[in-house]
Structure 1
Amino acid sequence: MPKITVHLCATGALLMSLAMPAAAQTLAIVGARVYPAPDAAPIDDATVLVRDGRIAAVGPRKRVDVPRGVRVVDARGTTVTAGFWNSHVHLIAPPFHQPDAQPAAALADALRERFTKWGFTTLFDIASLPGDVRALRTRIERGEVVGPQLLTVDMPFYPEHGTPIYVRELWERTRAPSAEVATAAQGRSRAAAQIDAGADGVKLFADAIVGGQRGVLPMPKDVARAIVEAAHAHGKPAFAHPTDASGLDVALDSGVDVLAHTAPEAGEWSSAFVARLKADDVALVSTLTLFDSELRRENAPEPVVQRFVGAATQQVRAMSQGGGQILFGTDAGYIEVYDTHQEYRLMGAAGMDWRQILASLTTAPAQRFGQGARRGRVEPGFAGDLVLLRNDPAKNAEAFADVRMTVRDGRVIFDRDADSPAR
């Protein structure tokens, strides 16, 4: 075996910009099989040393010195990867609404049980009530609440008269301001205002399910384009919610960066369509569990469930085979399914192998959202975002859901083996 050189991290200006939660530890994870990245060879019987929130060294155990006095995790029999990203969640269910009024423990418990126990060190909230996720993020970064890195688009953009039928009660109950936009100027102005207030991107409903005779209402293309252009002018990504072929058309013509989920009602995706997505650098979030969960909740007939899930699976398969970028996401928070086993099963059914799934969880979102130089890999200098798995995903992709420990920026934020939850 060729010698593996172990480097200690430098403190460059970029790395110094990492945001670290309070109480980051010097931590040594010893004896694991490490997958440094989806395209890298595994390191067996390895040590990962994390110092000051960043990975200081990684390599075979005999070549990495572990300083005295550090916390050592015996990781024999486990697999270590970079921390996972969930690129489609909604932090809207209690206790996440008005988080400044919630006890820190309740917020930490909810984040742990719904997200960090599944390995997520970063969540991208892609539509929530105004200001909520930014406030929760502030409490996490101050060290009051234990949780993952949070990114958010804040409030979504609906077409005029297009508040989706399934969120109207929420909007009325919380008395949130309307998320509808009537003109390009209005869309551009609000997008800029939300980003200036701390949003990390925008999400537009390229078409919205409004019910009644209209059924699905598309957003005018000039409005959609204005929202996307405002996001891009601020260096931020634009997500789109598509329902059918008309929504896909609006999304692509407006220049969005990410499709928030598949669009089963649009029918099969051809290789030519996927080539267009790839040429336009448009990513797709998997969210396959969404359709199965929602249709079963509504007691849809089994043939209907299979038709929708089958169409969604075909679109992910076409994207994967065509070399398009796929991001992991579940729509958790809109659907009450937080367990990730089924998403991995469905991604496998769509023809994705474990390395492709790992990329969707790590390198792909880190690159897509501007953090590829500091997150998504187990390498010296990168953030100490790590997941310890009790089994090897190379043998079965559902092992990605069997999490023993989650570490964010050098701090353990979930430990299955602890006597009490990490706080």
Structure 2
Amino acid sequence: MVLPFLLLADAAWAGELAIVNARIHPSPDAQPIAKGTVLVRDGKLVQVGTDVAVPDGAEVIDAEGGSVVAGFWNSHAHILPLPLSEATARSPAELAFALRRMFAHWGFTTVFDIASFPPGNAATLRKRIAAGEVAGPSLLTVDMPFFPADGTPSYVKDLLESMAAPSAEVATASEARERARRQLAEGADGVKLFIGAIVDDGTGVRLMDLEIVRAVVDEAHRAGKPAFAHPTTMEGIELALAGGIDVLAHPTPASGPWSAELARRLVDGDVALTPTLQLFEIEVRKENAPETVVEEVAGIVQQQLRLFHEAGGQVLFGTDIGYIDQADTSREFELMAGAGMDWRAILASLTTTPARRFGQHARKGRIEAGMDADLVVLGSDPADDLRAFSNVRYTVRGGEVIHPAPWHRP
């Protein structure tokens, strides 16, 4: 009976909160503020600078030796594991603990679930978080994904059968359009298409019909929402470009190195990319491949990210947590740096770029008065050492400290 009471103690931090002695990075391209203070009131940033008076009675976080950045976005996650997949039945304590382990511990204040089951579950979790019942990040969701006919990916078949989940396959453009329209009307924040689905029937990759892609994307764009795609192959990328996809959920190591011309076409098509580089190391190691193969695959996806970034592409940070179990973000940052992204570019992928891409730039992604109080207090400065991005002392979402847990705070 202790955990629920302590979780509710988070709400007490949502009044006035001051973060002091901080090296503040207001945005990726802004000059830092040394020994600054961030003042939060009622979930909003009210003052940022070196001459900020801390009100009597405000909760205070001393960031001495550390830095403060805007709250992180995880633009590729899945609300699939227990207990999160049972958002209606599970207690606030259980849900908050899982959300903290997967997200808040690593600085994520906004999470985009880009495919989960059962239908409506992520939306239920979102409502419980928004109501203040569960401490956690702001949650966006595409709800159920769209698979090609006879194209449920082999690696999720057992999971979906264990959930008794309905089929996510679509066989015709009209069927796909109707489901997309329904999911969006019921509150989905976008759509996700497996335009290249890996199946185990000997064919390798099942491609989605272009007319189905266009039907789903058209419905998303009509509602002002983004369309994500899992491409898998070069053919999948061509379908994404032809169908008007907004975000590639992964690069495509199976297709080999990208050309500069392809990177330019993606940028010209206003297609963003979520690299998920660590995912491919994890997947190759699952097959007991030798480390030389792991290194080869990692090198391919880093080359693809490098070309895309150099071409001016919009990179969105994402981990695929929920499909993989690795919550620690440090390896992903290391791989992104190895692909040529400096700390400012990585910070943009975590903050300003997703805020702009998903229509929330007016209130998220930067540290300035009037913005939502989504903040991360880091133990050191990423300008000095990229490992700082994973050294999270505190995560603040809407003025509420969601990491560390109340009983772990100094």
* TM-score grouping bracket, smaller chain normalisation: over 0.9
1:183-232 superposed Cα distances (whole Å, 9 cap, x missing partner): 11111111110011111000001110012321101001010111000100
Corresponding residue pairs, total = 399
The alignment status of 1:167 with 2:156, answered yes or no, reads: yes
Q: 1:412 pairs with 398, 401, 408, which one?
A: 401
Partner of 2:82: 94
Partner of 1:14: none
Q: 2:386 pairs with 381, 388, 397, which one?
A: 397
Partner of 1:128: 116
Deviation at 1:421, TM superposition (A): 6.8
Aligned equivalents of 1:253 and 1:306: distance in 2? 32
**Paired residues for 1:254-293 under 5 Å:** 254-293=243-282
Partner of 1:49: 39
CA contact 1:241–1:260 (8 Å) conserved in 2: yes
Partner of 1:312: 301
Classify the secondary structure of the residue corresponding to 1:211.
Answer: coil
Q: Which amino acid aligns with 1:409?
A: G
What runs of 5+ residues in structure 1 fail to find an aligned partner? Answer: 1-20
Q: 1:359 pairs with 345, 348, 367, which one?
A: 348
1:21-55 superposed Cα distances (whole Å, 9 cap, x missing partner): 96522101011000000010000000000111010
Classify the secondary structure of the residue corresponding to 1:58.
Answer: strand
**Paired residues for 1:183-202 under 5 Å:** 183-202=172-191
CA contact 1:22–1:142 (8 Å) conserved in 2: no
Using a 3 Å threshold, how does the CA distance of structure 1 residues 98 and 415 change in structure 2: closer, same or farther? closer
1:93-124 superposed Cα distances (whole Å, 9 cap, x missing partner): 10011211011101000111111000000010
CA contact 1:27–1:72 (8 Å) conserved in 2: yes
Partner of 1:16: none
**Paired residues for 1:7-406 under 5 Å:** 24-60=14-50, 63-129=51-117, 130-406=119-395
Classify the secondary structure of the residue corresponding to 1:150.
Answer: strand
CA contact 1:124–1:152 (8 Å) conserved in 2: yes
CA contact 1:89–1:331 (8 Å) conserved in 2: yes
Using a 3 Å threshold, how does the CA distance of structure 1 residues 48 and 253 change in structure 2: closer, same or farther? same
What runs of 5+ residues in structure 2 fail to find an aligned partner? Answer: 1-9
Deviation at 1:338, TM superposition (A): 0.4
Aligned equivalents of 1:276 and 1:246: distance in 2? 14
Aligned equivalents of 1:398 and 1:297: distance in 2? 26
Classify the secondary structure of the residue corresponding to 1:97.
Answer: helix
**What percent identity do the matched residue pairs reach?**
56
Classify the secondary structure of the residue corresponding to 2:322.
Answer: coil
The TM-score, its normalising length taken from structure 1, stands at: 0.92
Q: Which amino acid aligns with 2:19?
A: I
CA contact 1:22–1:141 (8 Å) conserved in 2: no
1:364-413 superposed Cα distances (whole Å, 9 cap, x missing partner): 00000000010000011100000000011011112100000000010100
Classify the secondary structure of the residue corresponding to 2:155.
Answer: coil
Q: Which amino acid aligns with 1:27?
A: L
1:275-330 superposed Cα distances (whole Å, 9 cap, x missing partner): 11111111000200100011112212222212211111111111111110000001
Classify the secondary structure of the residue corresponding to 1:166.
Answer: helix
Aligned equivalents of 1:245 and 1:303: distance in 2? 24
Aligned equivalents of 2:186 and 2:267: distance in 1? 31
Classify the secondary structure of the residue corresponding to 2:125.
Answer: helix
Q: Which amino acid aligns with 1:325?
A: Q
Classify the secondary structure of the residue corresponding to 1:195.
Answer: helix
CA-atom RMSD in angstroms: 1.3
